[in-house]
Amino acid sequence: MAIGFMLVYTKLSNVLSREALFYSCMLPFIAFFGVFAFFLYPNTNVIHPVGLADRLLEILGPNFLGPIAILRIWSFCLFYVMSELWGSVVVSLLFWGFANQITTVDEASQFYPLFGLGANVALIFSGRTVKFFSNLRKNLGPGVDGWALSLKGMMSIVVLLGLLICAIYWGVNKFVLNDPSIPKPEGRKKKKEKAKMGMVESMKFLLSSRYIRDLATLVVAYGISINLVEVTWKSKLKAQFPSPNEYSAFMGDFSTCTGIVTFTMMLLGRVIFRKYGWGVAAAITPTVLLITGVGFFSGLVQWSTDTIAWTTWYDSTSCGSLCWSHAEHF
């Protein structure tokens, strides 16, 4: 999905203006989250092809269990994919692309940390929102679909804030960037129109730059590492919190704590930048991931080994007791 989106985005960027491209990326996300909460989720019994999935599983066998499972609950899988793309597209691509467009290099060191602080303040409030709806579901009467209610509430907030983003973007472009009465800083010169390239030409251009190749390697390595840790960690969380409500409440608290810690680290990061430079600051994240990842997987392996050993001992003693009782009986 991410690769497909980038192909579409590259094509649209060659035919649309920057403003039209922004709205073309934002509005489908906003529409989908609204449609999912108010139409797709309440009608999952109708739109999910459970019978077809069962027949395909009988025909194709367990080797195709994964793709068939995706087909069985396709709307939930699509919601997960769109949620993951939201961070990559809206935050990484659209927001930072717009920030790079309107901010000079000299201004970046001043404003970019503030943008990051704002993002983590939002993470704190989003965690409290998830916790609020988790507690709300606890107090609902029998027969009430708490997930449907909380989903409608949270997705309504997403839709409203998404429309607010579009309104702010429109206002900045109309009343700020195009206002002749506002003096333009000397460092912000009008950029020349660059030649538009297709997907193949863009890839060749990017691969020809060692700097871009190194950045791409860094991003890919980060994505692989964080997903290996996150998927395993969330699987253990589901075992710890089997109730969806408990899991949701924990993730709300976790998001809030993450926002607070990241907010603090970003304030501390400015000191690290000034005192130790970019290299040390950039090395902190992979170093922390390496240390905590090794500790997490080592503990996980040890826990699994102890569990297997205990299970083997329990099975052997149970079998021994069972065999001894049969011997006495005979």
The predicted structure's pLDDT at residue 326: 41
pTM over 0.75: no
Q: Mean pLDDT across the stretch 237-246?
A: 79
The predicted structure's pLDDT at residue 195: 57
Average pLDDT across the chain, whole number: 78
Q: Mean pLDDT across the stretch 147-175?
A: 90
Asked whether residue 60 carries a pLDDT value surpassing 60, the answer given is yes
The predicted structure's pLDDT at residue 119: 74
The predicted structure's pLDDT at residue 184: 59
Percent of the chain with pLDDT over 90: 20
- Three-state SS sequence of the chain: CHHHHHHHHHHHHCCCCHHHHHHHHHHHHHHHHHHHHHHHHHHHHHHCCHHHHHHHHHHHCHHHHHHHHHHHCHHHHHHHHHHHHHHHHHHHHHHHHHHHHHCCHHHHHHHHHHHHHHHHHHHHHHHHHHHHHHHHHHCCCCCCCHHHHHHHHHHHHHHHHHHHHHHHHHHHHHHHHCCCCCCCCCCCCCCCCCCCCCHHHHHHHHHCCHHHHHHHHHHHHHHHHHHHHHHHHHHHHHHHCCCHHHHHHHHHHHHHHHHHHHHHHHHHHHHHHHHHCHHHHHHHHHHHHHHHHHHHHHHHHHHHHHHHHHHHHHHHHHHHHHHHHHHHHC
Highest mean pLDDT among 58-67, 82-91, 173-182, 185-194: 58-67
Q: How confident is the model at residue 41 (pLDDT cuts 50, 70, 90)?
A: very high
The predicted structure's pLDDT at residue 71: 93
The phi and psi torsions of 323 (rounded to 5 degrees) equal -65, -40
Asked whether residue 182 carries a pLDDT value surpassing 70, the answer given is no
| CA separation for the pair 80, 86 (Å, rounded) | 10
Q: Mean pLDDT across the stretch 263-277?
A: 78
| CA separation for the pair 80, 203 (Å, rounded) | 28
The predicted structure's pLDDT at residue 314: 45
The predicted structure's pLDDT at residue 100: 78
More confident of the two residues 96 and 131: 131
Give yes or no for a contact between 122 and 236, defined as CB atoms under 8 angstroms apart.
no
Q: Mean pLDDT across the stretch 22-34?
A: 92
Asked whether residue 316 carries a pLDDT value surpassing 60, the answer given is no
The predicted structure's pLDDT at residue 308: 52
The predicted structure's pLDDT at residue 44: 92
The predicted structure's pLDDT at residue 306: 53
pLDDT in tens, 99-141: 877 777 677 667 777 777 777 788 888 888 888 888 877 777 7
